[in-house]
Amino acid sequence: MFCIRFNRLTLAVAAFAAIALQGPLLAQTPDHAGDSSAQFPSPRDLKALTTAGSYLAARHASVERDATSAAAFYRSALRTDPKNNELLDRAFISSLADGDIDEAVKLADRILVIDKSNRVARLVVGVRDLKMKKYAAAQTNINQSIRGPITDLVATLLSGWASYGAGDSKTAIANIDKLAGPEWYPIFKDLHAGMLLDLANKQKDAGVRFERAYKLDDSALRVADAYARWLSRNKDDASALAVYENFNKKLARHPLILEGIRDTKSGKKLAPLADSPQAGAAEALYGIGASLTRRGGEDLALVYLQLSLYLKPDHSLALLSLADLYESVKKPQMAIKVYERVPANSALKRNAQIQQATDLDSADRSDEAIGILKNVVKEDPKDLEAIMALGNIERGRKKFADCAETYTQGIDVLAAQSDKPNWVYFYFRGICQERSKQWAKAETDMRKALELQPEQPHVLNYLGYSWIDQGINLDDAMKMIKRAVDQRPDDGYIVDSLGWAYYRIGNYEDAVKTLERAIDLKPEDPTINDHLGDAYWRVGRTLEAKFQWQHAKDLKPEAEELPKIEAKMENGLPDVATPAAASADQKKDDVKKDGKGG
């Protein structure tokens, strides 16, 4: 997401081998729906359960990826069977997965009495010590958590920050420098050595380290930001701006980079990324945890990100990375809670709100999502990302008048900025206008979208389909849909459009063949099944037609389509004198026409 990138990252296996976890952490992540204030299990629930009952409830909660409940049930079972080491381990891991580090620390202390070599417990206790400024104890515990290339690096960086906290920056740098390992080590080593030296007011040495890290990868966000901040205080604003603007060319409009550009231009001297040993350690845990999130190391990433936030609860990048991790394992409800924690004064707050709205919509909380996005757009009427997100949610929820207005706002912003018009806005606005029965406006927008992006398959499909459905421009429409299918031969929705086009012009044999192929591509789509039923009926395969209609009904079609399907199941289709007289009742919604589902 916003993490430092490994140059060559073969960490998927190493991540799991590096640390001995007692079962997948992400199998225990919480995903509570509904009232966030509701507490389950309640103290009464827990008191009523036997040890076996608590254990079984905890295992079920783990399967459901509900770490909050799992931890509570395991701790309940542990209270009645305090010498059960398996319960102790599971309660510890569940608490860690839930982000309840204070509770995890208590359990880790108990584990280390039994098993002094437990590396996860050592790491957690060491981070606790670092937070409490018990730097000698932190070093002892952290150094005993080592095993493998990732934990070696993490432990060395954390131990270095603990050494600095104890007043020994020389030893901290020496230990970081002597660590040997994979080719992706140096950028982490130089970045953290630079931050540590910067905080120790050894500015010349810090600059050397930042420059070295920057030369290794000038597209690494934290490296560029740390170096530019150092330059703003130790060289000049022009040098700092050059670093920020170079990054902006590679990844345009990153909020933290834009903030750095604004602050530098205003003459501010930018503070270091880390202002304490705790913040430096949090940065190390975040940087490696975020890099692991999408590379097969999600369990270890979860540990590092939760510990990073334990040290620095307002670390916006760590929060966004944690939310991104939950999204990657299909836990939007948990991601929503994490996005809510991003500080209101963070440059990344609007990013968090936009993604939070997307997750709320996926959780069928679209009114909340729309409300959040409207506020974001109100604060910045030129925020194209928020405008697009708002329009997409309104369109997906069939608020077609609203989404047409929202996309118009985006089109106006682009025009005012003298940016090249974006075909997507015209395409999506055209969908909203067509669905709100303003065909003339919709057709104009579709043509404009094709002018801006010739041969765009979804636009060709939508416009061609709409013409066929109205019985106009039939030759051009058929050609357009065929061109769309040529580009997207495996898109069931676009293939369905071609089949329905054949049906509408009375070519029922080709309609059957094409719609059967569409069914192969999208067997669970009610509209395609309904279309195939119609085509079967027209070629005299009436039993198969009724089967397809029944299947369409079972697949839960849109409410307005259900009575039409039931009428066909009862009475079949009426005879038609000409192809153009074929029923227009089968008009598909925009999800089917655009072939994208939103």
Region 361-370: mean pLDDT is 96
- CB within 8 A of 130, min separation 6: which ones? 138, 142, 158, 161, 162, 165, 277, 278, 281, 311
Structure-model confidence comparison of residues 172 and 149, the more confident one: 172
- Show contacts of 167-174: CB within 8 Å, 24+ apart: 169/196, 169/197, 169/200, 169/202, 172/196, 173/197
The CA-CA-CA angle for residues 7, 13, 19, to 5°, reads 105
What are the structure tokens assigned to 227, written together? 């170096």
The CA-CA-CA angle for residues 180, 193, 284, to 5°, reads 80
Region 369-387: mean pLDDT is 97
Query: Is residue 530 within 8 Å of 561, Cβ to Cβ?
Result: yes
Q: Among residues of the chain, what percentage have pLDDT more than 90? A: 73
Please, which pLDDT band fits residue 3 given cuts at 50, 70 and 90?
very low
pLDDT computed for residue 146 by the predictor:
78
Q: What is the pLDDT of residues 252-273, one digit of tens each?
A: 999 999 999 999 999 999 999 9
How many other CB atoms are found less than 10 A from the CB of residue 545?
Answer: 22
pLDDT computed for residue 583 by the predictor:
41
Please, which pLDDT band fits residue 47 given cuts at 50, 70 and 90?
low
- The Cα–Cα gap between 548 and 545 comes to 5
Helix ranges (H only) for 32-184 are 43-48, 51-63, 67-80, 85-98, 101-114, 119-131, 135-143, 149-165, 169-178
Q: What is the pLDDT of residues 162-172, one digit of tens each?
A: 999 999 999 99
pLDDT computed for residue 509 by the predictor:
97
Task: Tell me what the pLDDT averaged over the chain comes to.
Answer: 88
pLDDT computed for residue 48 by the predictor:
55
Region 216-229: mean pLDDT is 97
pLDDT computed for residue 295 by the predictor:
66
What are the structure tokens assigned to 495, written together? 């293939």
Query: Is residue 28 within 8 Å of 70, Cβ to Cβ?
Result: yes
Region 542-546: mean pLDDT is 97
pLDDT computed for residue 55 by the predictor:
76
Please, which pLDDT band fits residue 43 given cuts at 50, 70 and 90?
low
- The Cα–Cα gap between 6 and 545 comes to 56
Structure-model confidence comparison of residues 160 and 4, the more confident one: 160
Please, which pLDDT band fits residue 25 given cuts at 50, 70 and 90?
low
pLDDT computed for residue 11 by the predictor:
32
Say if residue 197's pLDDT is above 90.
yes
pLDDT computed for residue 40 by the predictor:
55
Please, which pLDDT band fits residue 19 given cuts at 50, 70 and 90?
very low
332-454: in CATH 3.10.580.10 = no
51: exposed, middle or buried (Cβ count in 10 Å: 0-12, 13-18, 19+) = middle
Residue tagged 């740098």 (tokens)? 173
- Show contacts of 560-567: CB within 8 Å, 24+ apart: 561/526, 561/527, 561/530, 565/530
Query: Is residue 517 within 8 Å of 495, Cβ to Cβ?
Result: yes
How many other CB atoms are found less than 10 A from the CB of residue 332?
Answer: 20
Specify the CATH number for 146-329; select among 1.20.1280, 1.10.1740, 2.60.40, 1.25.40.
1.25.40
Q: Whole-prediction pTM value? A: 0.84
Please, which pLDDT band fits residue 357 given cuts at 50, 70 and 90?
very high
- Which amino acid, 478? M
* CA-wise closest residue to 223 among 244, 202, 205: 244
Say if residue 470's pLDDT is above 80.
yes
Lowest mean pLDDT among 48-57, 188-197, 235-244, 309-318: 48-57
Region 186-202: mean pLDDT is 97
Structure-model confidence comparison of residues 576 and 90, the more confident one: 90
Say if residue 28's pLDDT is above 90.
no
- CB within 8 A of 448, min separation 6: which ones? 421, 423, 426
Per the document, the length of the chain is 598
- Which amino acid, 221? L
pLDDT computed for residue 70 by the predictor:
79
| Exposed e or buried b per residue across 477-516, where buried means at least 16 C-beta atoms within 10 angstroms of its C-beta | bbebbeebbeebeebbbbbbbbbbbbbbbebbeebbebbe
Say if residue 87's pLDDT is above 70.
yes
Domains 146-329 and 332-454 share a fold: yes
- The Cα–Cα gap between 397 and 401 comes to 11
Lowest mean pLDDT among 30-34, 246-250, 497-501, 525-529: 30-34
pLDDT computed for residue 174 by the predictor:
96
Say if residue 460's pLDDT is above 50.
yes
Give residue 437's region: left, alpha or beta (phi > 0; psi -120 to 50). left
Say if residue 155's pLDDT is above 70.
yes
3-state secondary structure of 217: coil
- HEC letters along 574-585: CCCCCHHHCCHH
The CA-CA-CA angle for residues 12, 15, 16, to 5°, reads 95
CATH of domain 487-594: 1.25.40.10
Say if residue 588's pLDDT is above 50.
no
Please, which pLDDT band fits residue 32 given cuts at 50, 70 and 90?
very low
pLDDT computed for residue 34 by the predictor:
41
pLDDT computed for residue 589 by the predictor:
43
Q: For 450-516, where are the E strands, in sequence order?
A: none
pLDDT computed for residue 17 by the predictor:
33
* CA-wise closest residue to 73 among 85, 55, 88: 55
Structure-model confidence comparison of residues 189 and 73, the more confident one: 189
pLDDT computed for residue 294 by the predictor:
65
Residue tagged 């609007």 (tokens)? 350
Question: Where do the structural domains in the chain lie, given as residue ranges?
Answer: 146-329, 332-454, 487-594
* CA-wise closest residue to 172 among 141, 135, 144, 208: 135
pLDDT computed for residue 412 by the predictor:
96
- The Cα–Cα gap between 558 and 545 comes to 19
Please, which pLDDT band fits residue 237 given cuts at 50, 70 and 90?
very high
* CA-wise closest residue to 315 among 344, 283, 291: 283
What are the structure tokens assigned to 155, written together? 């432990």
Please, which pLDDT band fits residue 442 given cuts at 50, 70 and 90?
very high
pLDDT computed for residue 296 by the predictor:
62
- The Cα–Cα gap between 103 and 334 comes to 20
Q: What is the pLDDT of residues 473-519, one digit of tens each?
A: 989 999 999 999 999 999 999 999 999 999 999 999 999 999 999 99
Structure-model confidence comparison of residues 524 and 60, the more confident one: 524
Q: Compute the radius of gyration of the chain from its Cα atoms.
A: 29
